Amino acid sequence: MIKFPYVLLIIFILMFSACEEIIQIELDDGVTRLVVEGRIEKLKGSRNGYQRIILSTTDNYFSQVSPPSVNDAKVIVYDDFGNSYPFTESATQPGVYETDSLFAEVFRTYTLIIDYDGETYSGEVRMLSVPPIDSIYQEFQEDTRSFGNRGDDSPEGYIAMVDFTDPAGAQNYYQWEILLDGEFQIEADPANLFLRLQNDEFFDGQKVIGHQPDNTLFLDPGQAVVIRQIALSQLAYDYYSLLFSQSAERGVFDTPPATVRGNVQNITDPGHYPLGYFSAAEVAEAYLIIF
Amino acid sequence: MKKNRKIRIHRIYLHLALKKSLYFSFFSLLFYKASTIAAVPAEKNDIKGYVIDKESGEALPYANVILSGTYRGTATNTDGYFVLSAPAELCSLTVHFIGYAKHQVVIDNSKKPPKLVQSYTVTEIESKTEWNKKDIIKRKAPAEFRDDFLYISMQSAAIQGEEVTVTAEKYEMWKSSEEVAQVTFSPRQISALPSIGEPDIFRSLQLLPGISGVSDGSAGLYVRGGTPDQNLVLLDGMTVYHVDHFFGFFSAFNADAIKDVQVYKGGYPAKYGGRLSSVVELTGKTGDSNQKRLGVGLNLMSANVLGEVPLLNGMGSWIISARRSYSDLIGSPMYNKLFDFLSDTEPETPQGFGGPGGRGVQQEEVRPDFYFYDLNSKLSLLPTSRDILALSFYSGRDNMHDLQEMGNLRFGGGETTGTRGRDETTDWGNTGISLKWSHRWHDRFNSNFLLARSSYFSDHVTNLSFSTTTEDTSDVLRGRGNFASQENNAIDDFSLRFDNDWQINNSYQLEFGIGAKNIETDYIATVSDTFNVFESQGASHQLSFHLQSKLNFFERLDISAGIRSVYYDRSASYYTEPRLSLQFTVTDRLKAKAAAGRFTQFIHRIVNEDVLEGSRDFWLVADENLEPGRAGHLIVGLEYDTPGYLFSIEGYNKNMENLLEFSRRFQDRADFGGLFFFGSGVSRGVEFLAQKKYDAFNGWISYTLGDIEHKFPNLNNGEPFPASHERTHETKAVGTYSWGRWNFAATWVFASGQPYTAPEGQYNLDLLGDNTRSYYHVSDKNANHLPDYHRMDISASYKMAVKNEHGFDGELGLSIFNLYNHNNVWYRKYDLEVSPIVITDVSMLGITPTLYVKVKF
C-alpha cells in the first residue's frame, strides 16, 4: 500500500508553492481617431453666435501629455442652400477652426465636411429653436443636506433661477449652462446630469417656474451669473447624457466603459469612425447680478 | 435463397416509402401508421425485460438492445425496461450500456414463453496480430427469465468485490448516441479523468466536443455557443437551477449518486422544452436492492458519504448521499488557493483605506467562512411488477460569511482614527423534490406521472460600517456611518408531467404527453433597507403538449418527428416548436444524421459579471417586457464507426432571438427598465472528433471551429459583435491508460482567447462646458482577444479491493490541474486612476494538485 500521509504532505507543500500571478503586460497602441467638437451657435434674438470646430485626435492612453491638436485639416460647413463656409485654424489656439462669415438660422440644416489625413468626415445637424428665458431672478436659500460650492457645512446664499415656457406638442430637449463671473459651473459629473440635461417629458407645453440650473451654487451679492438655455436634438441629448455618464472619476474597473459615438461619420473608411459631436444650437441667454 | 428474398422485399418497400413520403406532410408523419410499411411476413414474438446492474440490481436507463445481425433495436426506458419483437426462431440480443461490458443473450424465441439459451459478456480488445481488428473474449454472464421478463445483468468495468476483473479491458466513458448531438455519459468512468478536488460530472462534460467551460472557475456548460442558463438540467425530472458549488468550481451533483447522464447538444426531442441550447438529464441511482452498502469519500475540499439500503425484500431501495466541504471547520489549503483565485488577492499591493496620506494603514487578509453541502436521497418502490414509485430529493446549498473588523485605522496624518467593519453573507442553494410513478399498462405502453418542485434562492447581504474620531487641539469630532445592501432572488418551480410511451411495433414508437408548469421568480435589490434599486416579481404558467413519433424505415432510416406546443400566460401566446431528427445508416459503419427544431425559454438569467458575486446572477420569468427567448437549431453530421474507433463531423447553426444583456452602465439607451438590452444571436460551428473507444489506451481528440455573433440594436451601435464566451478554435485531447489496478489519464485543452472590450485611447473634449475633460475611447464591443488558453491536466488513480469477510472496494486518485502551470488569462484589468494607466492580466488557476480517496463497503 501507498504511504498515504506522506503523499498528502507532499501535496500540501505543492499547493502552497503554486500561487496566482498578476503580471504587467504591454499592449499595442490603439487606433488613432479624429476627435471633433463642433458647435454652430445662434443667440436667440440676434444674428450672432460663436462658430468653432475643435479638432484633435485620440492618443495612446499610456501617454501623459494631452492629445495632439489637428492642424492641417480642411474644414467646411455647408448649409442647405448650398452656401459654403470655410473654417480656418485660429492663429492663437491650435486645433480650433473658426469663421466669422456664418450667421446661423434656426431650422436650417448644416453639413460639416472635414478632410484630414486622406480621409473625409461628414456630419449633419439641424438647428432647433429654443424657447426664450422668460425671466431670471434670485432666491435666498439654505441647505442642510449638502456641502455648497464654498465647502460650507450648511451653506446658505442666493440661488439663481429662471422661468421659461416649453412649446406644447413637440419633444424638446434642453441643456443649461451657468457661468459665474465668466467661469463655467456645474461639474460634468453623472450626479449633475439632471441639472444639465432634461427633456420635457414632465413639463411638455407648460410654463416652468423657478428652474435652478444649479441648486448648490450659492451666490453672494455682487456676483454675476449668466444662464444659457440651449436646444438639443434627441440625438445630441442622448450623446451628452452618455458622455455625462462617462465623465465620472474613474477607478479600477474590470468591464471597460462604453464607446460614445457621435454624429460625425468617416465617409472614406466607416470603420475608422471619429469621436465627438457636431451640433447646432440656438441659445437663450439671461444675465443677473446678485443684489 | 433466404437472403435473396429479403433483398427483394427491401426494394419494394423502398419504392413504396419514397412515393409515400413525398405526400406526407410533417404532421402526417406523426400519425403515420407504420404497419403499412413494416409488415414483415415472418411470425414474431415479443421479448421484454429489464437491463440491470449485476452488482446492485439497479435498472439501467437508455441501454441499447439490438437484435443481432440487424440494425433493429430499442433502448430501455428510464426504468430499464425494453420490449422488442423478434422472429420466432433462435435469435440473439446484444445489449450495450456505457461503462459496462457488452452483453449478448441467445434466446429461443420459437417457444412461448421464450427460453434462454446462452448469456455472456463480450469484451473486445485490440488484436495483437491485426490492426483495427478485435479479439473477442466471451465470458458467461447472468441473465434469466422471471415471469416472462428477461433480466439481463450487466457487468461494469468498476471493481467488483473480491474479484478485480479490470485487466486490459476498458469501457467507454461516453459515446455518441442514436440521435445527432446526443451523448451518453457514464458517471462510473469519470473518476479516471483529472479533476479539481474530486471527480465531477459537469467538469468532465466540458471535455466533450462542443461543450466548453469558459473559465477555470466554472462548472457551467457553454454548449455550442449557448450560455449555462440555456441548458435544461434535470435531475430525476426536477429542474435544477443551481448547478454548481463554490462559485462554480464544483458541480452540484455528487457523481457517486448519479447513474446516467444524457446530454443533448441541440435539436433535442419534443418531450423536453423550456431551454434554448441543450438538455442534461441526470438519472439518480436507485440504490442497491440486494444488499446494504456504505461508501465514504474524502478529498482536499470536501467529504462525502453514501448509503444504500434494500427495502421490502428487494421490492424497493433507498439511497442517500451527502457531501459537505470542511474548509470552514478545518483549514484547507485547496480552499485557500481557490478562494484566492476567485477573490483576486494581490499579495504585493495591499490597498490602504484612507487614500494617500493615510499612515499606519492596517489591512488584514481574511478568508471568509465558507461551506457547501448537498444531499441526494431517493426512495424507490416496486409495489407490483407493473409499477415503480420513486421519490427523489435533492438539496444543495452554498454559504459564505465574511466578517472583517479593522480597528485603529489612522488617516490624515494621524489626527483621525477609526474602525471599519464589513459583514457580508452570501447564501444560495436549490432544493427539489420529485415523485415519479411509472406504470406499464401493457407490455408496449408505459406512462410516467411526475410531480416535481424545485426552489432556488440566492441571498446576498452586505453591511459596511465605519466610525471615526478626529482629535484636534480644541475639539473632538466623531463620525459614524452605515451602509447596507441586499439582493435576494428566488425561484419556485412546480411541474406536473404526464408522459406516455407507446411502442406500437419495432419500427414505430409514439411518445406523447402533457405538462403544466408554474414558475415564480422574485428579485429585489435594496440599499440601506429603504431604497429599492430594482424589484421584480413574476409568476407564470405554462401548459404544454408534446407528441413525437419515431419511425424506422427498412432498418436504415430513422425519422423522429415531434411537436411541442406551449401556452404561456404572461405573453398570452402559443409557442409551437416542431422538432425533427433523422438518422440514416448508410453502411454498418457510416451513419448520416440531422436534426432541426425550434425552442423557447420562459425564464431569463440576468448575468452579473463580478466573479465573487457569481451567485448574484438572478433569474426572472419572461413577461410582457422580457419576452421569452427563442432559438432554432439545425444540425447535420456524419459518423464513421469502426470496431475500435469513431470518427465524426457535425455542423450546427443556432439562431437565437430575445437574448438579454444587463448593464447598469448605459441606462439611457436601454430597451427596458433602464437596465436591459435585447438582441439576437447566431452561433455556427463544425466539430470534428476522433475517438478510440476501447482497450487499455483510449481517448479522443476533438476540434471545434465556431463563432457566436450577437446583435443588439442598442449596444455597439447596432453592429454585430462576438459574444464574450466565443472560442473560435477549440481542441481537446483526452487519453487514459489502464494498467492493472492503475489508471492514468492526461487531458489537454486549447482554446483561442475570448473576446473582450478594452479602452483604446484617450481624448479631450470640452463639450460639456466646464473644463476640458479627458475621456477614454473604448474599442468596439468585444473587438479584442485575450491570449490563447491552454492547459494540461494529468491524473493517476489506483483501485483497491480487500478480500476478506469485511471486504471493501476503494479508489485513490491524484490529479494535477494545469500541469505545466500555463498562465491563462482570465480577464484584463485596467487601472485608469494612475497615469500612465496600469493594465494587468488576471490569471486563472495555476498548477493545482489534488487528491481524493473513496472507500465502499
pLDDT at A153: 59
Mean per-residue pLDDT for B24-37?
46
pLDDT at B354: 31
Residue B672: name the closest of B631, B712, B721 by CA. B712
Omega before B113 within 30 of 0, i.e. cis: yes
CA distance B215 to B287: 34
Other C-beta atoms within 10 Å of B800: how many?
17
pLDDT in tens, A239-249: 887 777 666 55
Contact of B445 with chain A, judged by CB distance below 8 Å, is answered with no
Instruction: Decide the pairing of beta strands A34-43 and A275-289.
Output: parallel
Confidence of residue B790 (pLDDT cuts 50, 70, 90): very high
Backbone φ and ψ of B191, nearest 5°: -65, -15
Residue A38: name the closest of A274, A290, A286, A255 by CA. A274
Of B195-199, B360-364, B567-571, B812-816, the one with minimum mean pLDDT is B360-364
Cell 474548509, located at residue: B327
Instruction: Decide if A27 and B823 are in contact by the 8 Å CB cutoff.
Output: no
Whether the predicted pLDDT of B78 surpasses 70: yes
Better-predicted residue by pLDDT, B140 or B164: B140
CA distance B245 to B255: 13
CA distance B623 to B644: 51
Confidence of residue B18 (pLDDT cuts 50, 70, 90): very low
Mean per-residue pLDDT for B551-559?
85
Residue B778: name the closest of A243, A191, A223 by CA. A243
pLDDT at B637: 92
Whether the predicted pLDDT of B3 surpasses 50: no
Whether the predicted pLDDT of B423 surpasses 50: yes
The pLDDT > 70 percentage for chain B reads 78
pLDDT in tens, B225-247: 888 889 999 988 899 888 888 76
Contact of B719 with chain A, judged by CB distance below 8 Å, is answered with no
Instruction: Decide if A15 and B768 are in contact by the 8 Å CB cutoff.
Output: no
Do residues B260 and B813 touch, judged by C-beta distance below 8 A? Answer: no
In B, minimum Cα distance to A179 occurs at B770
Instruction: Return the axis-axis angle of helices B333-343 and A4-17, rounded to nearest 10°.
Output: 20
Instruction: Decide if A35 and B764 are in contact by the 8 Å CB cutoff.
Output: yes
**B residues 247..306 contacting A (CB < 8 A):** 300
10 Å CB burial of residue B492 (0-12, 13-18, 19+) is middle
CA distance B220 to B610: 16
Mean per-residue pLDDT for B212-219?
76
- Asked casually if ipTM beats, i.e. exceeds, 0.85, the reply is no
Backbone φ and ψ of B109, nearest 5°: -90, 5
Looking at the complex, report in whole angstroms how far the Cα of residue A61 sits from the nearest Cα belonging to chain B: 5
pLDDT in tens, B629-656: 999 999 999 999 887 788 999 999 999 9
Residue A277: name the closest of A261, A253, A259, A254 by CA. A261
CA distance B742 to B744: 7
**Coil, strand, or helix at residue B293?**
strand
Looking at the complex, report in whole angstroms how far the Cα of residue A76 sits from the nearest Cα belonging to chain B: 20
| A vs B: CB pairs below 8 A | 197
Question: Given this structure, which CATH class describes domain B182-753+788-856?
Answer: mainly beta
Q: Which residues contact B276 (CB under 8 A, 6 or more apart)?
A: B226, B230, B599, B600, B601, B629, B630, B631, B654, B656
Instruction: Decide if A24 and B839 are in contact by the 8 Å CB cutoff.
Output: yes
From chain A, the residues in CB contact with B757 under 8 A are 255-256
Whole-number average pLDDT of chain B: 79
Q: Which helix (H) or strand (E) holds B621?
A: strand B618-621
Q: For residue B379, what is its C-alpha cell?
A: 426512495
Contact of B839 with chain A, judged by CB distance below 8 Å, is answered with yes
CA distance B791 to A42: 64
Confidence of residue A191 (pLDDT cuts 50, 70, 90): low
Q: For residue B397, what is its C-alpha cell?
A: 446549498
Backbone φ and ψ of B231, nearest 5°: -100, 135
* CB nearest to A186's CB, from B334, B762, B770: B770
- At position B464, the amino acid (one-letter code) is L
The domain segmentation of chain B, as residue ranges, is 2-156, 182-753+788-856
- Enumerate the β-bridge partners of residue B378: B319, B392
Residue B277: name the closest of B225, B234, B215, B202 by CA. B225
From chain B, the residues in CB contact with A67 under 8 A are 762-764
From chain A, the residues in CB contact with B195 under 8 A are none
CA distance B830 to B10: 68
* CB nearest to A22's CB, from B800, B832, B842: B842
Whether the predicted pLDDT of B13 surpasses 60: no
- At position A106, the amino acid (one-letter code) is V
Confidence of residue B99 (pLDDT cuts 50, 70, 90): confident
Confidence of residue A30 (pLDDT cuts 50, 70, 90): low
Please report the sign of the dihedral spanned by the C-alpha atoms of residue B330, residue B333, residue B334, residue B340: positive
Other C-beta atoms within 10 Å of A126: how many?
12
Looking at the complex, report in whole angstroms how far the Cα of residue B725 sits from the nearest Cα belonging to chain A: 15
pLDDT at B625: 82
Confidence of residue B212 (pLDDT cuts 50, 70, 90): confident
In A, minimum Cα distance to B779 occurs at A259
Mean per-residue pLDDT for B517-532?
80
pLDDT in tens, A50-103: 788 889 888 766 555 666 788 888 999 999 888 999 999 888 888 889 888 888
Nearest-Å Rg of the Cα atoms of chain A is 26
**Coil, strand, or helix at residue B50?**
strand
Question: Given this structure, which CATH class describes domain B2-156?
Answer: mainly beta
SS (H, E, C) B486-520: EEEEEEEEEEEEEEEEEEEECCEEEEEEEEEEEEE
Instruction: Decide if B831 and A252 are in contact by the 8 Å CB cutoff.
Output: yes
The pLDDT > 90 percentage for chain A reads 11
* CB nearest to B830's CB, from A4, A256, A258: A256
Whether the predicted pLDDT of B517 surpasses 90: yes
**Would you state the CATH architecture of domain A34-128+261-280?**
Sandwich (2.60)
Backbone φ and ψ of B852, nearest 5°: -145, 160
From chain A, the residues in CB contact with B853 under 8 A are 4
Mean per-residue pLDDT for B512-522?
93
Q: For residue B82, what is its C-alpha cell?
A: 425494453
